[in-house]
Amino acid sequence: MSVGTTGDGQAYLGVSVTNSAYAVDGSTDSEAAVTIDLGDTGNESVGFNDDATTYVNGILELTNNAADGNSIEVSLGGAESGHSKSQTVSIAGADVTFALSDPDTGADGDLAYATVSAGGTTTVDAEINTAVENSGDDEMLTLYAEDGSS
């Protein structure tokens, strides 16, 4: 699974690796800024246990690089699926749910984003569920950021 960006190290939303056991900085790769390698599901010697759920805290770090100094609101998912504090991606032999580590809590207790101040960061965790039967659908993790100053 890869997370692609424009290739600009100072992009509006910076994406970097914080857990090198499962993610690799692909900044020299023209295709992806980060490659997430969750191993071989179904083969305990090189991957995750079958029929289990494994948590990986802080697999990615997202940085607010906005030039205007404003805060940004970061969420997962796109306009077609709705912005959320989590997104599930199917891969061969597992479902992986990515979630913001520290989403905001509003009056309803459940907002769909994390507010990141200028120069600040937030992290993304992963939950790998190998107790599912699927072949993977080449789904992609979508990161979304917008100006949070309003």
Beta-carbon contacts of 38 under 8 Å, excluding residues fewer than 6 positions away, are 1, 22, 47, 48, 91, 94, 96, 126, 128
Q: At residue 6, does pLDDT exceed 60?
A: no
- Global pTM? 0.79
Per residue in 32-88, pLDDT (tens digit) is 566 676 665 554 455 677 888 988 888 888 999 988 889 998 998 766 667 788 888
Q: What is the DSSP letter of 33?
A: S
Q: What is the DSSP letter of 132?
A: S
- Please give the C-alpha separations between residue 141 and each of 34, 52, 110, 117, 135, in angstroms, as whole numbers: 11, 22, 21, 23, 17
**What is the three-class DSSP state of 10?**
coil
Mean pLDDT throughout 120-145?
Answer: 83
Residue 138's region, left for phi above 0, alpha for psi from -120 to 50, else beta, is: left
Per residue in 105-117, pLDDT (tens digit) is 665 555 678 889 9
State the pLDDT confidence band at 123, using cuts at 50, 70 and 90: very high
- Per-residue model confidence (pLDDT) at position 122: 92
- Per-residue model confidence (pLDDT) at position 17: 78
Q: Which of 25-29, 114-118, 128-132 has the lowest mean pLDDT?
A: 25-29
State the pLDDT confidence band at 138, using cuts at 50, 70 and 90: low
